[in-house]
Structure 1
Amino acid sequence: MPDVTVNDAGRHVVINLPQTRLFLFDKGQLVRTFPVAVGKMLTRTPTGSFEVTGIYRDPAWHVPRSIQEEMRARGKPVQTVVPPGADNPLGRMFIRFGEPGLGLGIHGTNAPGSVPGFRSHGCVRMKNEDVLALGGIVSPGTEVTVTYQTVLLNTDGNGDLWLTVYHNLYQHDDVSMRLLADTLLAWQKDNGRTLYGKRVDDALRERSGRPVCLSCAQPRPAKTDANWAALRWLSTPSREEGPATVTAPIPGERGSARQSLAPQRLSRS
């Protein structure tokens, strides 16, 4: 899960765009995780802090002018309003977040096979059964945080550290890459555990979205459960105020011209 400071006194929705996942927290505890579809490269979902401002069951879709122009350009019939029903792209529910003028929302779909993915015009798309479940839990005023974290660090119930890396589809400047080396060195020192640098390099190169154990003596598949927790490394107060000064990447071993993406003092096995 991403590193986001969540409300410990109520419900909080967190959406990590590269991960195409929505996390629902209640009093600081993760209670549900849902797959979502988010904005395409040309119609990116914006990041930021919002609140739920409306919940509408079986909504009509008032087609934005930009999408009407797309319909016209493709030679399709131009629709201005799509009534509730099986053909409605908003599905069974629309949960608006942010000011109405932003046009942002979490909604169902008439194309469940499009979830998860990068498919929408900026809204967050869920399967109908999932958005109905979410709509039955949240309420106006529920906090919503949309974040963009391609590099995740999590600890499991055994105290092992896991790294998960996703593609940077939106091509954002990723502050986590400037913080990762120092974070891993600090974790290794604080916990007295060896981290395996080659696994860091491989994960950053592949960006497969597959969790990799950095501290396990032997690689093993991830079994994510309620005991997993996000390492607090991006949401610390000093880093929320601005970029930190960190150590630059260090050249790899064996005289390679390519710079290692992992810090030098990690095990290279």
Structure 2
Amino acid sequence: MKRQQPQRNSQSGWVVALGLALVGVSCALPAAQTGYWLPNPDDSVFGQIFYVKSGRKDTLLDLGRRSGFGYDEMKSANPGVDTWLPGKGTHVLVPAQYVLPQAPRQGLVLNLAEKRLYYFPTSGKVVTYAVSIGREGWDTPLGNFSIVSKVKDPTWTPPASIRAEHAEQGEILPAVVPAGPDNPLGQYALRLSAKKYLIHGTNKPWGLGMQVSHGCIRMYPEDIEQLFPEVPIATPVTIVYQPFKVGWRDNDLYLEVHAKDKDKPGSPKEVIPTSIAEAQGVNVDWREVRRAIKENTGLPHLVGGRQQPPQRLYLDRIF
């Protein structure tokens, strides 16, 4: 299969591939269920962005959920599109291309900056999910953890701090919320070795992909249902905060940005590791690095590459 060459979109600076198809609103991303294979262990960029046409009643949240994406991802990738009323026939970009975080490729890896979970079921394969994380003051913890228990149809025992918060808003929470459609944990929960933190479903999926929880990691109901039987007890869970992700796809260098104001670097050279920028044969286009930081779309942006070694020509001797 002939490799597609990257093409620059003049309006946004996003890197898209030739031949992207506009697909109907009923189309979902197959890899959201099957995962992606990384045939080259040195590569960390995978997937491919695509477009869908919105229907008359669609919101960006509707279109995102059908392909496994959350609110913030869809907003960042479509800055000119109305969130609640894109309009019938609007071409909406689905940001289904990713740079892997810098973390061990095992178990579960969560990058808080992009609100996305990566699962490595086997060597060379990755499945990825949108998540919600803890809001300010209720931060999801960073570090290395593991899954210590799994519960189907969990009950929820809200801690005193959350009950007090709800009481201030005039809502009295019961001491225990039973399993069922009104349970905020949804139907499945994975408990982490970090006290009081879970990876779980939700009874309010339309808030997914934002910084809204009390520190737990929320997933779409259909995603946690798929993940729950796949991960055994003791599965490692690595939680990082990486607003700038850099990675290779063949000989192309990409930068993916999910930066808040506090993350903005003083110089573009701060976001490209010195081990890459100063490597022999690597060319970094610093203008494109600046563009990626400024646009902050959450999409992998082509910012350089490495030269291929010259091929030697062998001639048969004629005697």
Q: Same fold (TM over 0.5)?
A: yes
For 1:197 and 1:173, the matched residues in 2 are separated by 15
Which residue does 2:177 correspond to in 1?
82
Which structure has the larger Rg over C-alpha atoms?
A: 2
Which residue does 1:6 correspond to in 2?
105
Which residue does 2:152 correspond to in 1?
57
Q: Which residue of the other structure, out of 117, 123, 143, is the alignment partner of 2:210?
A: 117
Root-mean-square deviation (CA, aligned residues, Å) is 2.3
- Three-state SS of the structure 2 residue aligned to 1:51 is strand
- Three-state SS of the structure 1 residue aligned to 2:283 is coil
How much has 1:205 moved relative to structure 2? 2.7
| Change in CA separation of 1:6 and 1:193 when aligned onto 2, cut-off 3 Å | closer
Residue identity opposite 1:126 in structure 2: M
Residue 95 of structure 1 pairs with residue 194 of structure 2: no
Residue 140 of structure 1 pairs with residue 229 of structure 2: no
For 2:123 and 2:170, the matched residues in 1 are separated by 49
For 1:62 and 1:114, the matched residues in 2 are separated by 21
Which residue does 2:77 correspond to in 1?
none
**Could you tell me whether the CA contact under 8 Å between 2:244 and 2:259 is conserved in 1?**
no
**Could you tell me whether the CA contact under 8 Å between 2:111 and 2:117 is conserved in 1?**
yes
Residue identity opposite 2:302 in structure 1: C
Q: Deviations over 1:69-127 (max 9, x none)?
A: 0111001123221111111100011100115xx10110000011111111111000001
Residue 41 of structure 1 pairs with residue 133 of structure 2: no
Q: What percent of counterpart residues are identical?
A: 31
Worse overlay, 131-140 or 196-205:
196-205
- Which residues in structure 2 correspond to 1:197-236 (within 5 Å)? 197-215=286-304
**Could you tell me whether the CA contact under 8 Å between 2:116 and 2:130 is conserved in 1?**
yes
Paired positions, count: 205
| Change in CA separation of 1:63 and 1:141 when aligned onto 2, cut-off 3 Å | same
How much has 1:26 moved relative to structure 2? 2.7
Q: Deviations over 1:11-42 (max 9, x none)?
A: x1000001111000134433310000011122
For 1:5 and 1:202, the matched residues in 2 are separated by 29
| Change in CA separation of 1:172 and 1:67 when aligned onto 2, cut-off 3 Å | farther
- Three-state SS of the structure 2 residue aligned to 1:106 is strand
**Could you tell me whether the CA contact under 8 Å between 2:276 and 2:282 is conserved in 1?**
no
For 2:197 and 2:221, the matched residues in 1 are separated by 17
For 2:269 and 2:155, the matched residues in 1 are separated by 43
Which residue does 1:195 correspond to in 2?
284
Residue identity opposite 1:5 in structure 2: P
**Could you tell me whether the CA contact under 8 Å between 2:154 and 2:188 is conserved in 1?**
yes
For 2:264 and 2:135, the matched residues in 1 are separated by 17
Which residue does 1:67 correspond to in 2?
162
How much has 1:208 moved relative to structure 2? 2.2
**Could you tell me whether the CA contact under 8 Å between 2:115 and 2:132 is conserved in 1?**
yes
> What TM-score do you get using the length of structure 2 for normalisation?
0.60
- Three-state SS of the structure 2 residue aligned to 1:52 is strand
**Could you tell me whether the CA contact under 8 Å between 1:36 and 1:126 is conserved in 2?**
yes
